[in-house]
Structures are given as structure tokens and as C-alpha cells.
Amino acid sequence: DAKTTQPNSMESNEEEPVHLPCNHSTISGTDYIHWYRQLPSQGPEYVIHGLTSNVNNRMASLAIAEDRKSSTLILHRATLRDAAVYYCILRAPNAGGTSYGKLTFGQGTILTVHP
């Protein structure tokens, strides 16, 4: 299975940018890079995903390395509500990929935001 590696924890101050890294050196050419976050006592929620180009949405930005072996989730101005566990996973686009049905989440990165 395609595997991702993330730091166990990171800290930030409120209103500062946060860069959450993810390594995925075994990514296949067609895998999408997905990010999810889990707030305390809630189910994981989708944040953003991308394939090759950098992506932006209302929640965050996703910067993907040119060789696609790593990516960075960027929260432009962290708020206290962004304190959560952030997961980076790979998803194959079709049944030919090893990350199509079977998904590995890992332990994610615990983000602490200080007031």
C-alpha cells in the first residue's frame, strides 16, 4: 500500500501561517493526494486534494512537489478552530491503483494553535 509519513505534532500561533508536511515517496503516477482533519470528538473532514498542480480552496492550500514525493498543506492564518489532527493519504483514481479501496491513514499530525 502507498504510505505517507507525517510529523507527529506541530505548533503554531494564532493568525500565523502553518505548513504541514507529508512525505509520500512511493506515490504512483495517478494517485491523488488527499488531506483530512479531525477535530476532537468528531469524524474526519475533507480539507483538500490534488494531483500535480497546487490547489487552493476556502479552507487551505495544497502545495505539491514537482516529483510528487511530498506535499504541504498550508493554513494561511491559523485559528484556534484549526487545532486538530491532520491526515495525508493517497487515493488511486480507479480500480487499477493499489490505493483505490484500501486506504491507510496513519497517525497524522497533531496541530496545536496557541492564542
Partner 1 sequence: EAQVTQNPRYLITVTGKKLTVTCSQNMNHEYMSWYRQDPGLGLRQIYYSMNVEVTDKGDVPEGYKVSRKEKRNFPLILESPSPNQTSLYFCASSLETGRGPLHFGNGTRLTVT
The amino acid that residue 111 corresponds to is L
Closer to partner 1 at the Cβ: 3 or 21?
A: 3
Which residue in 25, 24, 11 sits closest to 88, CA to CA? Answer: 24
- Binding-site string for partner 1 from residue 54 to residue 93, where x marks contact by CB under 8 A and - marks none: ---------------------------------x---xxx
Which 18-37 residues touch partner 1, going by CB under 8 A? Answer: 31-32, 34, 36
Looking only at the bridges linking them, the beta strands covering 109-114 and 84-91 are antiparallel
Closer to partner 1 at the Cβ: 74 or 110?
A: 110
76 neighbors 64 (Cβ within 8 angstroms): no
Q: Considering the complex, what minimum distance in angstroms separates the CB of residue 23 from partner 1? A: 16
- If one asks whether residue 95 binds partner 1 (CB under 8 A), the answer comes out as yes
Tell me the C-alpha to C-alpha distance, in Å, between residue 23 and each of 62, 63, 77, 83: 13, 12, 23, 21
Name the site residues for partner 1 (rule: CB under 8 A): 31-32, 34, 36, 42-46, 49, 87, 91-95, 97, 99-108
